[in-house]
């Protein structure tokens, strides 16, 4: 009986070993050796310098992100947004405004309207009874007061009376005042048209932006709309930057000119009254 049991178990054991052996051998071939890395694992960072020292090419890194565009200066952005046409127009307005401001500042100085030296010299000639010298002094002076006094003395020397001399002086004074205000009014003109030109650029820029929206088959990018909006904003800003100082200068110097002309009238009448007494 034992012999029959052993003869049945031995073939079963051999069959089981024959089935297990191939799987065990396959698992043994695929298992990594102790201390070895998986095929997909990246080499440690310490191996990169070693590879570089050995002359082997280092593994290439992932491509870096696209570099940001260089920063653009505010001035170049403004010139590009304004364009050639608006840049030239605003540049001419700025140069003209500065020239007019300097010119009117010089013309409204006391030395060019009612110089104290002329008043002192004229009074000295009247005190010395030198009427012809006083007339020559007033005629040779280019100030407003000199022209007014020359008109009054010329009327008296032609045989006119004192009221006619005062009337002639007032006419010349009004003419000089009109001439000075006429030059000053150009500053007010620049202060008026500069924001209008800026408003024209604003309308043009907005039309350009809406044209991009209307003609684009897809949703336009913000950078495509920024060009027209930049033109609109920069033209408005530059127009106001020119208009604000122009209007302020005009109002301040108009009041100063009115005070200077009033001073000329008071001085001329006072000097001519002394001349009438002297005569």
- How confident is the model at residue 142, as a pLDDT? 86
- How confident is the model at residue 18, as a pLDDT? 41
Tokens of 58: 């280092």
- How confident is the model at residue 84, as a pLDDT? 85
Q: Please, are residues 279 and 131 in contact by the beta-carbon 8 Å criterion? A: yes
Q: Please state the rounded mean pLDDT for residues 226-255.
A: 90
pLDDT digits (tens, 9 = 90+) for 174-223: 998 999 999 899 999 999 999 999 999 888 888 887 777 777 777 777 77
Q: Please state the rounded mean pLDDT for residues 84-95.
A: 91
Inform me whether the pLDDT recorded for 245 exceeds 90.
yes
pLDDT band at 133 (very low <50, low <70, confident <90, very high): confident
- How confident is the model at residue 240, as a pLDDT? 94
pLDDT band at 232 (very low <50, low <70, confident <90, very high): confident
Cα of first residue to Cα of last residue in the chain, in angstroms, is 177
Q: Please state the rounded mean pLDDT for residues 35-59.
A: 46
What's the CA angle centered on 55, arms 52 and 61, to 5 degrees? 45
Most confident among 17-21, 48-52, 89-93, 108-112 (mean pLDDT): 89-93
pLDDT digits (tens, 9 = 90+) for 92-124: 999 999 999 999 999 888 888 988 888 888 888
Residues of the chain with pLDDT > 90: what percent?
A: 24
- How confident is the model at residue 196, as a pLDDT? 94
């Amino acid at each position: 009986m034992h012999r029959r049991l052993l003869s049945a178990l031995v073939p079963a054991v051999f069959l089981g070993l024959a089935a297990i052996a191939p799987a065990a051998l396959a698992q043994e071939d695929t298992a990594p050796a102790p201390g070895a890395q998986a095929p997909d694992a990246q080499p440690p960072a310490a191996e990169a310098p070693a590879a570089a020292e050995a002359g082997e090419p280092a593994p290439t890194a992932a491509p870096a992100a696209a570099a940001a565009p260089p920063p653009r200066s505010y001035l170049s952005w403004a010139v590009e947004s304004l364009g050639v046409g608006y840049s030239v127009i605003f540049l001419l307005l700025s140069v003209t405004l500065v020239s007019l401001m300097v010119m009117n500042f010089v013309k409204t100085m006391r030395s060019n309207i009612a110089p104290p030296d002329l008043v002192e010299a004229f009074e000295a000639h009247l005190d010395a009874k030198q009427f012809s010298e006083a007339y020559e002094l007033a005629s040779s002076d280019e100030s407003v007061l000199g022209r007014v006094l020359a008109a009054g003395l010329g009327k008296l020397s032609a045989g006119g009376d004192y009221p006619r001399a005062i009337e002639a002086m007032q006419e010349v004074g009004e003419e000089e005042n009109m001439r000075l205000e006429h030059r000053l009014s150009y500053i007010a003109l620049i202060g008026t048209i500069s924001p209008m030109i800026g408003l024209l650029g604003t309308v043009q820029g907005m039309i350009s932006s809406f044209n991009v929206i209307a003609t684009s088959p897809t949703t336009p990018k913000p950078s495509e709309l920024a060009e027209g909006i930049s033109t609109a904003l920069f033209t408005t800003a530059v127009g106001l930057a020119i208009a604000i100082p122009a209007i302020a200068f005009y109002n301040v110097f108009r009041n100063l000119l009115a005070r200077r002309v009033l001073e000329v009238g008071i001085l001329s009448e006072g000097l001519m009254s002394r001349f009438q007494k002297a005569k």
